[in-house]
């Protein structure tokens, strides 16, 4: 879980006793991942998220930041198969190859013309993007 405004992220493990009572156990906390509106995704034992608008890779076991690069504002991200699809706050749609060693942008298109904080929606190879002024449905290429 995470919060912006200087709070950071915390990882909890939920433990269960013999009576079935659940207790959260703090595993780690870090100021290195402060998500304002977006969620995190995990791929190949690495967490990816927007830390105050900058894409960040974090070790999920320790909370240690691996890298921080690429300004996407307070956008959103989805894990689509083995790639990150980032809806940047400025309206760009960006395809990123998740890598614990650094940022690799594969493609970028201008999808919307103004600020967006909305989460993209996927259906098959189509992605629906919207903000408070417009919506667009894009057909993404399919890998063969």
Query: What would the two tokens of residue 74 be?
Result: 């307070």
Distance between CA atoms of 116 and 14, rounded to whole angstroms?
34
Contact 89, 73 (CB under 8 A): yes
| Homologous superfamily of 2-139 | YVTN repeat-like/Quinoprotein amine dehydrogenase (2.130.10.10)
CA distance 64 to 57: 9
Q: DSSP code of 116?
A: -
Beta bridge partners of 83: 80
Structural contact between residues 29 and 16, judged by C-beta atoms closer than 8 angstroms:
no
Rounded to two decimals, the pTM is 0.85
- Each domain of the chain, given as residue ranges in start order, spans 2-139
Torsion over CA of 16, 29, 49 and 102, rounded to 10 degrees? -120
**Where are the alpha helices (H) located in 64-137, listed in sequence order?**
none
Give the pLDDT of the chain (144 residues) as one tens digit per residue. 776 677 777 888 899 999 999 999 988 788 777 777 778 899 999 999 999 899 999 999 998 999 999 999 999 999 998 999 999 999 999 999 999 999 999 999 999 998 999 999 999 999 999 999 999 999 988 776
């Amino acid at each position: 879980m995470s919060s912006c405004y200087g709070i950071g992220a915390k990882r909890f493990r939920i433990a269960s006793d013999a009576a079935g009572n659940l207790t959260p156990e703090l595993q780690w906390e870090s100021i290195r991942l402060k998500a304002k509106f977006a969620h995190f995704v995990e791929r190949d034992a690495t967490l990816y998220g927007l830390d105050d608008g900058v894409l960040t890779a974090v070790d999920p076991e320790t909370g240690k930041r691996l890298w921080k690069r690429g300004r996407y504002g307070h956008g959103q991200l989805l894990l689509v198969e083995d790639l990150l699809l980032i809806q940047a706050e400025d309206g760009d749609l960006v395809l990123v190859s998740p890598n614990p060693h650094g940022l690799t942008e594969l493609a970028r298109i201008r999808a919307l013309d103004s600020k967006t904080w909305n989460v993209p929606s996927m259906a098959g190879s189509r992605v629906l993007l919207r903000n408070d002024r417009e919506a667009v449905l894009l057909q993404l290429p399919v890998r063969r």
